[in-house]
Amino acid sequence: MSSNEQYSGNALLELRDVHVAYPARRRGGSVARAVDGVQLILQPGEIVALVGESGCGKTTLARAILGLQQLSQGTIQFDGESIPTDAAGKKLFRRQVQIVFQDPTASLNPRQSVYEIVAEGLRIHGNSENEHKIVSAALERCGLHPADRYMLRYPHELSGGQRQRVVIAGAMVLEPRLLIADEPVSSLDASVRGEILKLLQDLARDKNMAVLVVTHDLGLPWNIADRIAVMYLGRIVEIGTTEDVLARPKHPYTRALLSVVHEHLQLEQQILKGDTPDPTSIARGCRFNPRCPMVQSGEAERLGILQKCLNDDPVLPNKQNNDHVAACHALNF
Amino acid sequence: MIDSPVLKVRDLYVTYQSSFGPVPAVRGVDLDIALGETLGLAGESGCGKSTLAMALLRLVPPATQISGSILLDGQSVLTMKPGQLRLVRWAQASIVFQGAQHVLNPVQRIGSQIDEAIQLHHGSTSSTVREMLALVGLSDGCADDYPHELSGGQKQRVMIAMALSCNPLLIIADEPTTALDVMVQAQILQLLDNIKRERGLSMLFITHDLSVLSHNTDRVAVMYAGRIVEVGPAEELLRGSIHPYSRALAESFPIIGDPKSRHQPKGLAGDPPDPNSLPSGCPFHPRCNVAIDSCKSIDIKLSAVTKSIDRQVACVHANDESRSVK
């Protein structure tokens, strides 16, 4: 992939040609290319949704950004600098980048009170002045008011939605500049989801915090995201503003994904056959070609691009920040 | 009312016994499902929808109290002797459970698990494992596989094959696609839809995801705190809910492309009620944005709406001018 793309200067997070490969489980097995060449830019304060099926590498990518996963190739820059590898640098970095996981029950220590959970980050980062005041404000800000009523409770005494609010409050006390939310609402009840999404959106706006939301749900980006990146087998295959991508999808994968979501009414259903693809055996040529409706229906052949689909890996075109681009041969034959 | 429904439930109460005392999980539910009809049952976790499904085949813990009546093809499920009940399960009504990975026996081959149900009802069916696998789009080879060798979608197909193996009249599908990916979910929904049409099956489709109901069901019932709060034709109900709870539930699934929901996530304040300590009056009133004083004390019964014969709503505002049926 080309690395001479034009970006506006003050990006908060910049991923260039990021690869993460998991080694084979047994000798002679094949390497799983979970993330396979991703470019992504996040500006301060923007909400970007990373969308895809399970196994497409979206969680691995999130872990790589957090520095929890070693890259096999490529660079990730936060605020213009590489992610630090020394202990002191890591500590400072982690203060600025926080994560909210899918299942709040699993991410909270059942033996810690809400107060201890939220204050833990402050203590680790040696910011214990006004601790009570900061914790209290964070809980209130995350919709748990009056905060005093919740501080001494334990996770099992809270509902799922309240637990997720505690997780978010714990992330917010450190005033991060980037929040990574990995499926933040998919374990919550439908009626509670909207409230949590609204909280994330409001926090991003008030604190000028960038949010990368990892999700398989296309309704979520319509609700809160400024931009959306669609991931398929380790690669971003389409990216653009939420309106552009969801209203005028370019990549056949995005179109198929949208057509099976019942909240979308304009597309004819196009159900892809087979199971979620396998990152240990990525197809030659375009990685989507084994499931591509354009290849299967013969449309690719009519357009005269079939050979390209089968042999050439399409490249996501160079882009400015808000451009809507997709990696598909049919777009520039 | 439907003339001769496959399933007819009247005034069903299901009360669990717990160490905190009785827990009323289902509190007075009426349901009808006609031959070939699919009824969607929507609601959040803890609203009693799975309890209702289990109670239909008396698959609840022994100490649980069930009252009311359940007529399956005219036979009363609640008064049946155990032997007869065994014949009814699978052969008259079968359940596709959520989370196939936990339901299938991990140390038994797929083929023999499907065959088990067939053997138990030998008199009533002549289908073979091979036919059942073909019906759900799996190859013959799957019969020799163990559950861990199949993907999530394939396992769910096996569950459907088992549920169909004894030719039931009614399929109870309890969150059949919840743990699956969007694309696999679409495949399973399509499969269920085709089979339902080919065989003229009735179905009770239970889900927390309202958005899958509009395409796959004829009518939808919305459940809250153990009771049905709104029921009506699927499209009509999902586009123009009358009960404030069903409205809020519908709004939490945004329509992509609709400018009204862009950057406007909507949800309900508060949490679903604890069946152990339900609020007084209408159980929804603490979370309701149109509640009036009387809602705190009076629980409105599900009743027909004046504007539409097919709709029933349990809300004091059901017939207000402003909440018109769209």
Query: pLDDT tens across A104-157, in order?
Result: 999 999 999 999 999 999 999 987 788 999 999 999 999 998 999 999 999 999
Provide the 3-class DSSP secondary structure of residue B148: helix
Q: Each residue of A173-195: pLDDT tens digit?
A: 999 999 999 999 988 888 888 99
Say what the pLDDT of residue A2 is.
Answer: 38
Interface predicted TM-score of the whole assembly (ipTM), two decimals: 0.82
Integer Cα distance of B296 and A167 in angstroms: 33
Q: Which of B187, B215, B267 sits opposite A195 (nearest CB)?
A: B267
Q: Which of B44, B245, B261 sits opposite A223 (nearest CB)?
A: B261
Which tokens belong to B312? 């029933």
What percentage of chain B reaches a pLDDT higher than 70? 95
Mutate to test the interface with B, among A262, A270, A291 (most CBs of B within 10 A): A262
Closest C-alpha to A66, from A182, A187, A222, A205: A182
Residue A271 near chain B (CB below 8 Å): yes
Residue B178 near chain A (CB below 8 Å): no
**Counted domains in chain B:** 1
Residue B200 near chain A (CB below 8 Å): no
Q: Which of B185, B265, B271 sits opposite A161 (nearest CB)?
A: B271
Mutate to test the interface with B, among A58, A102, A223 (most CBs of B within 10 A): A223
Predicted structure pTM score: 0.88
At residue A306 the predicted structure's pLDDT band, cuts being 50, 70 and 90, is very high
Q: Each residue of A257-282: pLDDT tens digit?
A: 988 876 665 677 888 887 778 888 89
Position B120 in a domain: yes
Residue A4 to chain B, least CA–CA distance (Å): 33
Closest C-alpha to B265, from A187, A198, A226: A198
Which tokens belong to A209? 């915090």
pLDDT for residue A324 is more than 90: yes
Higher pLDDT, A191 or B170: B170
Residue B47 to chain A, least CA–CA distance (Å): 11
pLDDT for residue A202 is more than 90: yes
Higher pLDDT, A70 or A4: A70
What's the full length of chain A, in residues?
Answer: 333
Q: Which of B209, B211, B271 sits opposite A159 (nearest CB)?
A: B271
- CB contacts of A262 in chain B (<8 Å) are 211-212, 214-215
Residue range A154-169: average pLDDT?
Answer: 94
At residue A296 the predicted structure's pLDDT band, cuts being 50, 70 and 90, is very high
Position B318 in a domain: no
Closest C-alpha to A241, from A4, A108, A46: A46
Residue A260 near chain B (CB below 8 Å): yes
- CB contacts of A271 in chain B (<8 Å) are 183, 186-187, 190
pLDDT for residue B44 is more than 90: no
Residue A2 near chain B (CB below 8 Å): no
Position B326 in a domain: no
Say what the pLDDT of residue B232 is.
Answer: 94
pLDDT for residue A67 is more than 70: yes
Q: Which residue of A has its CA nearest to B256?
A: A264
At residue A328 the predicted structure's pLDDT band, cuts being 50, 70 and 90, is very high
| A105-114, B7-16, B94-103: range with lowest mean pLDDT | B94-103
Say what the pLDDT of residue A321 is.
Answer: 67
A13-23+30-331 topology per CATH: Rossmann fold (3.40.50)
Residue A237 to chain B, least CA–CA distance (Å): 17
> Is the Cβ pair B255, A256 closer than 8 Å?
no
Q: Which of B153, B211, B256 sits opposite A222 (nearest CB)?
A: B256
**Residue B271: how many CA atoms within 13 Å on its side-chain side?**
18
> Is the Cβ pair B267, A201 closer than 8 Å?
no
User: Are A47 and A229 within 8 A, CB to CB?
Assistant: no
At residue B292 the predicted structure's pLDDT band, cuts being 50, 70 and 90, is very high
Which tokens belong to B53? 């499904």
Q: What is the CATH number of the domain that holds B174?
A: 3.40.50.300
At residue B123 the predicted structure's pLDDT band, cuts being 50, 70 and 90, is low
Q: Write the CB contacts of B101 (distance below 8 Å, at least 6 apart in sequence).
A: B147, B152, B155, B179
Q: What range defines the domain where residue B72 resides?
A: 7-313
Closest C-alpha to A260, from B189, B171, B51: B189
Residue range A66-94: average pLDDT?
Answer: 92
Work out how many CB contacts closer than 8 A connect A with B.
Answer: 121
Residue range A206-231: average pLDDT?
Answer: 94
What percentage of chain A reaches a pLDDT higher than 90? 70
